Chains A and B, each alone.
Chain A
Amino acid sequence: MPIANKDVTWVEEPEIGFWEATFLPAIFAGLKTTVRHVTHFQPVTEQFPEEKPTLPLHYRGVHRLNRDDQGRVKCVACMMCATACPARCITIEGAQAPWEDRDKYPSSFVIDELRCIYCGMCEEACPVDAIEMTHLYDLTGFSREEMIFDKEKLLGVFDQTKDSGRDPVRTQRGRLGPASDFEGLPALAPATSVRGDDRSARSVTAGVIQGTAVMESSWEQINEKIEKK
């Protein structure tokens, strides 16, 4: 359908004045910018590799495998990271843990750092905060084999980065992490929505009943009733 005439607005070109026709004001305005760069010089070039950049805290670099408080690999070989990995670069073999207090551990944990796309899905998927991405970015090697990181190498990355200041150990949760640590830790927010009339919904941390006050008062009421009778 052609455009109707009433919908068309004709715009006239503005007329050029005398000074504008000389182009001189525009030339001086441009020169002002040029001069400003000379007088107010601010270098933006980074002197890499002599000077290392400060990366944002959420930078996703080389992975590390965290150790628990006893220095053992924290990973429980649940394979959530390998499942979540879109590049399929994580290969884990699970086995019976050699320790009394744990069921399963990774007998082998291999990440192909060349295949990895550094998306961070693995650390997001990990239920025990065992795999984390560090600020190491200048990953180089002479062969492809060198870039396939095994468990020892990934634990080595942890030892190397944990005190660097940029990659703090983000959580000190227990041996299985939030998934099973029910002693001494505040419960996590509920996975599903909470009804308003639910007792636990009124507590400070959803999921935990800070019920003593309520309970005590109700006991008092009951006791009063009994006494009255």
Chain B
Amino acid sequence: MATVIVNNKPVEIGAERLNCIQAADRAGVEIPHYCWHPDLSVVASCRMCLVEVGDKKPDGSVAMQPKLVPGCQTPVKDGTVIISDSPKVKAAQQATLEYLLLNHPLDCPVCDQAGECGLQDYSYEYGRGYSRLQEPKNIKPDKDYIGDQITLFTDRCIMCTRCVRFTREVSGTAELQVSSRGSHEEIDIFPGEPCNNKLAGNVVDLCPVGALCSKDFLYEQRVWWLKSKKSVCPDCSTGCSINVDQNNDTVYRLKPRYNPKAQGSFMCDEGRFGWKYIHAENRLSLPAKREGASTVSTDWDVVLASVREAFQAAAKSAPKKVAAIFSPWMTVEEAYILASWLKGLSPDITLAMTPARVSGEDDTYPKDVHGKPVQPVKFTIRAEKAPNRTGVEAVLKHFQGDVIPSGKVLEGNAYDTLFVVGGDPNPEVNAATASKLGLLKTLVVLDLLDTALTKKAHYVLAGGSFAERDGSFVNHSGLVQAINRSLQGPLEARPDGRILSELAGRGAMFTAAKLRAEIAQAIPAFGSLGGGKLGEYGVVMGLAVKLEPVTA
């Protein structure tokens, strides 16, 4: 076992290959850094992570290197000694920050990064507190158009080149570059080649200062007002871990959350900016019970009671003519409640599932100059545009043995009572199917947007978007991750889990973790969920004993 000594504290690192920053992190010591990022190559250019490094000899003596070395570039081995709190290191940190701040404008009041800014944090923690510069600062003009979603405040840049390395190494598209030299260095694009690749939004997250800003979020909110909840991006089956940042029940941005089991550190722009439907005009905000063209009631109690009665009556009289169409946008918990309720009413009720929307082929990054994918793959945008096909299918397989595609239910006239779950913001329901379904005896639609189908439905249940629901999604590789309710839906809209829970007579208290524990007991495929706690990175689906690590 390799042991590294960080600030006189021994820490075991096992057989891992770490640098000084990572080893110190294991010991709970922060070594400040700007240019280093775990998923990018090492350039050691910001000089913020300078530390004293030495070697502990077998005889117990310690030989320190005479110069400070960059922690990001220095691998550790058994007996490496790292000192990050000596006066020499502190002086170096102060001097580095003073240099980084020479030309940095003090426009924190108007800067979007203020509050989550690396320069602010480190200046406070390691800086000298005031400037000795007498000369005017070197102010470079802002570049408003770096990409469709990105703007560059050139004067705020500290030249860590994370963004340049990201476009070269992860997206592979290499739009960004450094032009000029020395104090005149600037991040720039090649003329006529804006940074518009599908991962471009990540350079904003990577920027440790407020130089690269997202046009979508620019000046919308101060970051200290945002409340974050851990969630999962629902826009493809990769299931990127994200944080939903909201204030006053309005989502302002999604940010990727590091998850080595799911996607790594990044997310694609489709997911990053794909949440706008949460606040769309055509969001369903009230439930409805309709008779003919007129709405009879928009009271949840009335609507839910009528739906329950309609299904109970239909299950008694002709269960073979009752069906439910599940959606790959449901959480595992929701699918479980609905399936167990309907199968409890009558085992003859058919449970079908809308196939996950597929668009094109899996899009892998990095790309080469011709746009061809390159190995090894560092990021994948999957063609399957639904978050939880695997999870819903596993539930259906448990209750019914196999998964019936929704097409079989929609064809012909075998069914007269139908429960359709939506959730897809871009559903593929054509008007013909919708008007045909409108002729059924009972059509219940649980969805979040007003669609052709909800217009024809006899009962409309106004559900919630992924940001308004508790539950769990299973991604393409079987990783079960939790999503958390971070905001309230419009008006009377309720999270799907609560609607289904009330409908199934389980009461209005819907607790996802408790339900997961129940599912783990009931369905062997979810046995690994155990007590229902999924942790930060999620749990791989499988039998209770089988717990295998999954690589991204």
User: Closest approach, in angstroms, between the C-beta of A123 and any C-beta of chain B?
Assistant: 15
Of B105, B128, B130, B224, which one neighbours A180 at CB under 8 angstroms? B105
Q: Which residue of chain A lies nearest to B222 when distances are taken between CB atoms in the complex?
A: A79
Q: Which residues from A are CB-within-8-Å of B136?
A: 182-183
Bound-state CA distance A180–B219 (Å) is 18
Contact pattern, A 62-78, Cβ under 8 Å of B = 1, otherwise 0: 00000000000000111
Q: Which of chain B's residues 450-492 have a Cβ closer than 8 Å to chain A?
A: none
B294 contacts the other chain (Cβ, under 8 Å)?
no
CB-defined contacts of B110 to chain A, threshold 8 Å: 76-78, 102-104, 176
User: A200 near B: Cβ within 8 Å?
Assistant: yes
Separation of A190 and B108 alpha carbons in the complex (Å): 17
Which of B109, B129, B142, B153 meets A179, CB within 8 Å? B109
User: A16 at interface (Cβ–Cβ under 8 A)?
Assistant: no
The number of inter-chain residue pairs (CB within 8 angstroms) is 64
Q: Does B184 contact A (CB under 8 A)?
A: no
In the bound assembly, the distance between CA atoms of A194 and B131 in angstroms comes to 12
**Of all chain B residues, which has the CB nearest A191?**
B129
Cβ B131 vs Cβ A187 within 8 A: yes
Whether B222 pairs with A83 at a CB distance below 8 angstroms is: yes
Of B105, B109, B153, B220, chain A has the most CB atoms within 10 Å of the CB of B109
Interface pair A182/B219, CB less than 8 Å apart: no
A151 CB to nearest chain B CB (Å): 16
Q: Which residue of B lies closest to A183 (CB)?
A: B136
Contact A209 B134 (CB under 8 A): yes
Instruction: Give chain B residues whose Cβ lies under 8 Å from the Cβ of A160.
Output: none
For residue B144, give the distance in angstroms from its CB to the closest CB of chain A. Answer: 9
Binding site for B on A (CB under 8 A): 76-80, 83, 94-96, 102-104, 127-128, 176, 179-180, 182-183, 187, 190-192, 194, 199-200, 206-209
The answer for the CA separation of A80 and B318 in the assembled complex, in Å, is 65
Do A192 and B106 touch across chains, with their CB atoms under 8 A apart?
no
Separation of A211 and B220 alpha carbons in the complex (Å): 44
Query: Is the beta-carbon distance between B132 and A182 smaller than 8 angstroms?
Result: no
- The reply to whether A192 and B219 form a contact with Cβ atoms under 8 Å apart is no
Q: Which residues of B contact A209 (CB under 8 A)?
A: 132, 134
B106 in contact with A182 (CB, 8 Å): yes
**Known contacts A95-B219, A187-B130, A209-B132; A83 and B224 CB within 8 A of each other:** yes
B106, A179: Cβ atoms under 8 Å?
A: yes
| CB–CB B107/A180 < 8 A | yes
Q: Could you say which residues of chain B place their CB within 8 Å of the CB of A78?
A: 108-110, 114, 222
Number of residues on chain B facing chain A (CB within 8 A): 24
**B224 — nearest CB in chain A belongs to which residue?**
A83
**Contacts known (A104-B110, A127-B109); A96 close to B218, Cβ less than 8 A:** yes
State how many angstroms separate the Cβ of B339 from the closest Cβ of chain A.
45
Closest-CB distance, A21 to chain B (whole angstroms) = 74
A104 and B106 in contact (CB under 8 A), knowing A190-B129, A192-B129, A200-B130?
no
The answer to whether B219 and A208 touch across the interface, beta carbons within 8 angstroms, is no
Q: Does B436 contact A (CB under 8 A)?
A: no
Asked if B57 is an interface residue, CB under 8 A from chain A, the answer is no
Centre residue among A96, A103, A127, A194 by max chain B CB count within 10 A:
A103
Identify which of residues 220-246 in chain B touch chain A, using a CB-to-CB cut-off of 8 Å. 220, 222, 224-225
A207 with B106: CB separation less than 8 A? no
Specify which of A176, A182, A190 is in contact with B137 (CB 8 Å cutoff). Answer: A182
> How far, in angstroms, from A42 to B129 measured CA to CA in the complex?
56
Give the residue name and chain of the B residue nearest to A177 (CB): B109
* A78–B153 alpha-carbon span in the complex (Å): 17
What are the 7 closest A-B residue pairs judged by CB atoms, nearest first? A192-B129, A78-B109, A190-B130, A94-B219, A104-B110, A103-B110, A207-B130
Instruction: Give 10 CB contacts A-B under 8 Å.
Output: A76-B109, A78-B110, A80-B109, A83-B222, A104-B110, A179-B107, A182-B136, A187-B130, A192-B128, A200-B132
* A95–B131 alpha-carbon span in the complex (Å): 30
